[in-house]
Chains A and B, each alone.
Chain A
C-alpha cells in the first residue's frame, strides 16, 4: 500500500503542476507515470481513483457534479481494467507457448534430420529453409549400401505445428520400410495408405520419391502430386520439366503410383524442389519458371551445395528476405 500512497502524492504533485503551468514537461512525467504503473500491473480504474483523490485534496470545494462525473467515469473504466488483466495473463501464456514451440522446433530438427550422403558418383546439394519456426517441407536421403540412393522430397499442406507432427509420422513409416522395397511407386503407395488413415481431411502431403542407382546411373521416380522438378540434359544444354501424374497422399486409399525411369549421363542434373521455390513472388509478380531455371543455370558450374545456396540467396533477396513458404531445393549431378 505504501508504494501506491507514494504514487498518489507523486500524481497529485504532477497534476497540480500541470494545471498551474500547462507545461509539456509535466505531460511527459504523466507518461512516465503511466508506464511505471503498467509495470506494476496497476489497472486503469486505479489511476482514475488516484485522480479523483488528488482532485479532492487539491480542490476540497470541487462541485458535486464534477465529483459525480468522476465516479461515473470510474465505473465505466472497470471493464477496461478487467480486459487489461486478461491481456496480461494472455501475454504470459503466449510466452510460455512460444518457448514450448521452440522446444518442439528443436525436437523436430533432431527427429527429421537427414544426412546428405557422400556418394562418389553423384554431387549432391540440398537446402531446406522454413518460412516460420517449424518446417512443413521435408527431405530425406536413404542409402542401401549397394549403390542405391533414395531421395524423398515432401511438402505437408497445412502449416505450422500440425504439419510438422505429420511429417514426423511420415518419416517413421519411411524408416520402417525394408531396404529391398525402396521402389518409389511402392513407397508412395504405402505412405498414401498411412496418411489417408491418420490425417485430418483438409491436410495432405505432396511427395516426390526418387531412387538413384549409382552402378547403372539410372534414376527411377514417382510423384504424389508434388511440384514438378527439372531434368538437365548436359549434352543438349536443356532443361525439361519432370512432370509425372500422381495424386497427392492422403486423398484416396485406392490410388496407385506409376514409376518412371531415366538414364542419367555425365553432367546431367536432377533438380527437386517444393512450391516455396516456384511460388516465389516479387511484389505481386510471380516468378516464372524460366527465371528459376536461368538462376540455376547461372550457378550450375559450382559444386551442387554452392549452387543451391546461391539460388536460395537470389530468391531471398528478390523477396526482401521474407519467405512466404518453406523453401527446399535439391540438386543431384552425375560426376563421373
Chain B
C-alpha cells in the first residue's frame, strides 16, 4: 500500500490531502512533505485524512514532530476528516487533547 500526498496552497493555508496508509514505509515521505510546511510563519497546515485507512505509530510520530515544529515556528496544524480507526490511535495516545483535530469522524471505511 502506498501513500499519495497532495498539497495545495490558498492564502495562508496549506491543504494537505493524504490517501493510503501511513506506516513505517510511507512516514518518511510524509515527514519530508509536512515539516517544511509547518515552518512558514503564520501558516495553517490543514491535513485531510479522509482517505487514510491505516496509520501506525510511526505515522503518529510524524504528526507529533509536526506539532512540535508548529510551536517553534508559530504556525498551526489542523487534522480533519479522520477515519474511526485512525482517530482511536490519536485518542489512546492522548493526542486528541493537545492537537487540533476535527471531531467529524468518518465511520469505519474499509
From 35 to 89 in chain B, residues with beta carbon under 8 angstroms from any chain A beta carbon are 56-58, 60-62, 64-65, 67-69, 85
* A248 in the interface (beta carbon within 8 A): yes
Q: Are B64 and A201 in contact (CB under 8 A)?
A: yes
By size class, the interface of chain B is: 20 to 34
Partner of A157, one of B58, B85, B94, B97: B58
- A247 partner residues in chain B, CB cutoff 8 A: 93-95, 97-98
- B97 partner residues in chain A, CB cutoff 8 A: 245, 247
Q: What string of 1s and 0s marks CB contacts (under 8 Å) between A210-248 and chain B?
A: 000000000000001111100000000000000101111
* A189 in the interface (beta carbon within 8 A): no
Main secondary structure of the interface of A (DSSP, over half): loop
* A279 in the interface (beta carbon within 8 A): yes
Q: Are B58 and A225 in contact (CB under 8 A)?
A: no
The total number of A-B Cβ pairs within 8 Å is 58
With contact pairs A206-B93, A225-B94, A245-B97 given, residues A279 and B56 touching in the complex (Cβ less than 8 Å): yes
- A226 partner residues in chain B, CB cutoff 8 A: 92
* A268 in the interface (beta carbon within 8 A): no
* B7 in the interface (beta carbon within 8 A): no
* B5 in the interface (beta carbon within 8 A): no
Partner of B57, one of A224, A251, A275: A275
Least distance between A289 CB and chain B CB atoms (Å): 11
Least distance between A36 CB and chain B CB atoms (Å): 38
Q: Are A204 and B64 in contact (CB under 8 A)?
A: yes
- A224 partner residues in chain B, CB cutoff 8 A: 94
Q: List 8 A-B contacts (CB under 8 A).
A: A157-B60, A201-B68, A202-B61, A243-B92, A247-B93, A247-B98, A251-B98, A286-B85
